[in-house]
Amino acid sequence: MTPKLEDVAKRANVSKTTVSRVLNNRGYLSQKTIDKVYAAMKELNYHPNAVARQLYKNQTNLIGILLPTVANPFFGELTDTLERLLYQQGFKVLIGNSMNDPKKETAYLNQLLSKQVDGLIVGTHNQGIKQYDYQDLPVVAIDRIMNEDIPIIASDNYHGGVLATTHLIDRGAEKIIHTNGPLTLETPSQRRRVAYEETMMAHNLTPLTYTVDFNISSEAKKVVFQKLLEEHPDVDGIFAANDTDAALIMQVAAEFGRHIPDDLLLVGYDGTKLIRDLIPSLTTIIQPIEAISTTAINVLKQRLAHEDTEKEYILPVELWPGTTG
């Protein structure tokens, strides 16, 4: 028998109104209550009406895109490309800017589901959001691990890390530092760090990774990079987590009297068209945004058609030579 809302309420030991408020993200609710309701829903394999409509109908032609922030050049270009390709295929788009806030992402996700979107393309950094626990949801993740069921679209992060590190070593760098996001963040981009570490050790060099929180401001990041140069004045190569961090490192290096590339080599990551146009000198690894977007949409359409999908889709990267590295 298909479970009903009152079954969830009974299992969670709350009222039907409370279950409805959780599903619609209305009013104040304690995290304990929210967790109890979602636990009951999962135990009963209960799908709210909005989710059920997503699972079994494909009538709205509305796709939700949920990303950390379109202010970042990579996510901005990714959003623009996804929207363009989806529009060409007859879809309308809702865009949610989560700003790395799990509460905001949860609110957007509930909003998107309540608007009966046909599917979601998600690239957020947040972890442990209960709505992603439903099986067979028409969702694809870009460079993020959401759950075992949601397929991941990613560039070849490991090869990108090898390319960046090998390039710096080939140019003569020996004291190479890598900046990377928090280790607690479950994302395929951590493979860049693994590739950096393994490549360094393969060349009998010592790897050193500086953790830089995605959520902090540019000014706070500059403080981290100032500390990096103060603590390691002999650093002669930096592999940055992304191009915006690389641009900040260029500023900080100039303040420290370090000359790029004469006495400090620098490689970024992402290689968006904007960065290549504005800072063509930056040596960086190009992620194939057009291919990532096309693959994400194709896989999402497979999910909408209830077709089997792979767990992960890896797309090739390439080096933009520039002059900083």
User: If you average pLDDT over residues 65-91, what whole number do you get?
Assistant: 90
pLDDT in the model for residue 305: 84
The rounded mean pLDDT for the chain is 87
* For range 113-138, the mean pLDDT: 70
Q: How far is CA 56 from the centre of its chain?
A: 28
Q: Is the pLDDT of residue 58 over 60?
A: no
Give 121's DSSP letter.
E
Predicted structure pTM score: 0.78
With cut-offs at 50, 70 and 90, classify the pLDDT of residue 231. very high
135 pLDDT above the threshold of 60: no
Residue spans of beta strands (DSSP E) within the chain = 62-67, 92-97, 119-122, 139-142, 152-155, 176-180, 208-211, 237-239, 265-270, 283-286, 312-315, 318-320
- Among 81-90, 112-121, 221-230, the minimum mean pLDDT is found in 112-121
**Residue, of 288 and 108, whose pLDDT is higher:** 288
Domains and CATH numbers, the chain: 5-155+291-312 (3.40.50.2300), 157-286 (3.40.50.2300)
C-beta of residue 298 within 8 angstroms of C-beta of residue 151: no
How confident is the model over 165-189, as a mean pLDDT?
A: 89
Tell the residue number behind the tokens 């002669």, with chain if given: 236
